[in-house]
Structure 1
Amino acid sequence: MVDISDVEIIAPNFKQRLSGVTSTIIQLIPVQRALGQKVAALGPGLPDSLPHIGYTALLSLWRRPKSRALRVWHARRNIEMLPAIVLRDILRMKLKIVFTSASQRKHSGWTKFLVRRMDAVIATSNRTADYLEVPSTTIMHGIDTQRFFPAHDKAAAKAALNLPSDKRIAGCFGRVRHQKGTDLFVDSMISLLPQRPDWIAVVAGRATPSHQGFETELKEKVKAAGLAGRILFVGEHTNIPDWYRALDLFIAPQRWEGFGLTPLEAMATQVPVVATDVGAFSELLVTGEDETGILVPANDLTAMAGAAASLMDDPERTKRAGEQGLSHAIASFSIKGEATKIGEIYEKLLSSAT
């Protein structure tokens, strides 16, 4: 626990289950603290190593922090906006509220009601901003290049994971479910691998209980195609950067996505990307002369397989796209840059108090 009098920004996490929002909070707060932003988390589902406050500390929000006239509450979900509004507007606590939206769909009337009462709104992509009916600032997610970086020795990176070091590897990482397009990745590999004996494929991620039947069907399809030894389901891993470093091609086959960090994680490890045109993927990838990968329409198996084949069959293009992806990720999508821009929003609100 940290002393509430030293906390200027509260980052609530009111969802127990691990999600992209939770992951964002976990990765951002240490970087924000290193930049001098006095942030602390509130709520369940977060590691003990993260600076946090307890619910009883909220009773102290009538009092200002040591060096400011008020605090900032940074919400990322409806269930985090509502209590902040109650604290600020009904209980008259000294708060300003920031909301970050990653949604790319029309908001419900309830969400619009909450968002209109924010003091500042952040959109994680330009597409997200288009769905907001209030002024917003676009700040895209960044990547931690201390965790995600290229392999010094690709063969050794593969061997460390008990993968064949003499094979090239295409990967798809994330939850195993229809929304994530895992079946599209598997079907594209079933069509491509028989003609490419030097390639194998890896699916890394967990199927939750409601999606285990979907995963079982995919495994049976792979077995029926005679590719059980070449399309590997390796489950969920905490050392996911090591798995990226073993790849030669990453495919993000999502049918829908709010933002989607996986292409950035791949680019930061110098791996070229094929991604569907969902979420923020079109704003992350560079196509054309300085390509970092290839963008394809969502739910288009033919286009996905064709894009993957064009990279799998052209080692020079793959190498060049990987190198350009690494440069692009470092230059444009550092997590430090994201934290700095968010900090500017905080500072504006904290300094506006009289």
Structure 2
Amino acid sequence: MLHVTQPVEAGVARVVLDLITDQVGRGWEVWLACPTDGWLPLAARAAGARVLPWHATRQPGPGVVREVRRLSAILREVDPAVVHLHSSKAGLAGRLAVRGRRPTAFQPHAWSFLATGGPLGAASHRWEQWAARWTDLVVAVSEAEASRTAEAGISAPVVVAPNGVDVDRWAPRDRAHARAQLGLGAEPIALCAGRLAHQKGQDILVDLWPSVRARVADSCLLLVGDGPTRQSLEAAAGPGIVFGGASADLAPWYAAADVVVLPSRWEGMALVPLEAMASGRSVVATDVDGMREALEPDAGEVVSAGDRTALADAVSRRLADSALCAAEGASGRSRAVAYFDVRRCAAVVGDAVAALAHAPGRSNSTSRSS
């Protein structure tokens, strides 16, 4: 089994590592091709995978030719039974390298054409439609993403495998202890954790935070993470906004929060709400793909993407009502344990790609012409 990914940190990397862990546990020989920066390569080796360097950037460009050539060399070296491509860059370079000559699964982790409009978005959409001929299986992380695949005219088979989290790792912790550990006080706290990027919508929270503080005095917004928009966010931030930086362990941050907020502009199925639910925290999120599947009304609130008033209202209501947060947190924990345990979710992918490897006529690199 060969996994290929360009993201080596944050949510995509976490999902890749979870799948590697499951597949190594099945006794498979698992390989990973990825850039050498970030925490994923070391973690994958520790989980039992063999790692090969694949230097790739996030964006398409002239470097794609070099990236395809390197993947072609890796394919010759590894000769995998199945290639599993993660996110848009691996999906582009990987399918150009494989060209249907061995079983190929593609997991978009949110379709790339959602990220941009105009000519680039249209080109991305056309590419995904065309590349479906080299895609034996699309792994969608939510029913919403699966529906979007069909609506976009991407005619590859689809399996839905919701993202999962380690419900033991993200077990609820004591709030007072976590706040003392992080140097925080007793003020009402909303947490937004994740990569600081346009997709994740932290700028929306920064803009509306004065209206939240007008209703809930001394409320604090914690932005934990790093990324390309950090400088602009810090320049725009007013009173009550604290930047926690990148963190290797989000558990104490979840424990310290009253409510966890995800103001994303697009997603496939984000991990942060699942981690927050498993941690026993109320969640407020925008209505992007996967969110209503993850978050039922008794565990928090989903508001229309782009409705800043509704988002501010939902956050303010919870910061002012600790009993509501506690009740939603308990419901969210129960739902996470019941439906989003990573072991169950990784098994769905493992079973699907095992079936792909053993499908008639798809057993080796010469099974289909380009």
Bin for the TM-score computed over the shorter chain: 0.7 to 0.9
Amino acid at match of 2:165: I
Among 59, 63, 69, the alignment partner of 2:76 is 59
SS of the residue corresponding to residue 306 of structure 2 reads coil
1:125 matches 2:142: yes
Q: 1:99, 1:207 → 2: CA distance?
A: 25
Alpha-carbon distance, 1:108 to partner:
2.3
Alignment pair present for 1:168 and 2:188? yes
Partner of 2:171: 149
Give matches, 1:62-211, under 5 Å: 71-76=81-86, 77-85=91-99, 89=101, 95-104=102-111, 105=114, 108-132=125-149, 133-134=154-155, 135-151=157-173, 153-164=174-185, 166-197=186-217, 199-208=219-228, 211=229
1:44–1:301 distance in 2 versus 1, CA, 3 Å: same
Shift, 1:279, TM fit:
2.7
User: Which residue is equivalent to 2:365?
Assistant: none
Asked if 1:233 is matched to 2:243, the reply is: yes
- The 3 A distance-change label for structure 1 pair 236 and 256 is same
TM-score (norm. length: structure 2): 0.78
Which residue identity does 2:96 align to in structure 1?
A: L
Which secondary structure state, in structure 1, belongs to the residue aligned with residue 41 of structure 2?
Answer: coil
Q: Which residue of 2 aligns with 1:10?
A: 2
**Counterparts of 1:122 and 1:179, CA distance in 2:** 21
The alignment's C-alpha RMSD in Å is 2.4
Quick one: structure 1 residues 201 and 131, their matched pair in 2 at CA, closer, same or farther if it must change by over 3 Å? closer
Aligned to 2:274, what secondary structure does the other structure show? Answer: helix
Q: 1:195 to 1:48 in 2, by over 3 A?
A: closer
CA distance in 2 between counterparts of 1:273 and 1:19 reads 19
Cα distance in 2 for partners of 1:80, 1:144 equals 29
Contact 1:264–1:284 under 8 Å retained in 2: yes
Q: How does 1:315-330 map to 2 (within 5 A)?
A: 315-330=322-337
- For the 8 Å contact 2:142–2:268, the answer to whether it is kept is no
Q: In 2, distance between residues paired with 1:139 and 1:16?
A: 19
Contact 1:28 1:335 in 2 (8 A): no
Residue 103 of structure 2 aligns to a residue whose secondary structure is: strand
Aligned to 2:22: 31
Contact persistence 1:177–1:214 (CA under 8 A): no
Counterparts of 2:27 and 2:227 in 1: how far apart (Å)? 39
Q: 2:35 corresponds to which residue?
A: 44
Instruction: Pick closer, same or farther for the CA change 1:128–1:309 going to 2, 3 Å.
Output: same
Q: CA deviation at 1:161?
A: 0.9
Q: Cα distance 1:84–1:163, how it changes in 2: closer, same or farther (>3 A)?
A: same
CA change 1:78–1:157 in 2 (3 A) is same
- When the two structures are aligned, how many residues end up with a matched partner? 316
**Counterpart-to-counterpart distance in 2, 1:301 and 1:16:** 30
Deviations 1:294-330 (A, max 9, x none): 0111121110111112222322221110000011111
Q: Which consecutive unaligned segments of at least 5 residues does structure 1 have?
A: 1-8, 63-69, 90-94
Pairs within 5 Å for 1:259-274: 259-274=269-284
User: Does structure 1 conserve the Cα–Cα contact (< 8 Å) formed by 2:189 and 2:319?
Assistant: no
Question: CA 1:59–1:184 in structure 2 vs 1: closer, same or farther (change >3 Å)?
Answer: closer
- What TM-score results when the alignment is normalised by the length of structure 1? 0.81
Task: Give, in whole Å, the separation in 2 of the partners of 1:16 and 1:184.
Answer: 24
Amino acid at match of 1:83: A
Q: CA deviation at 1:19?
A: 5.4
For residue 173 of structure 1, report the CA deviation from its aligned partner: 1.4
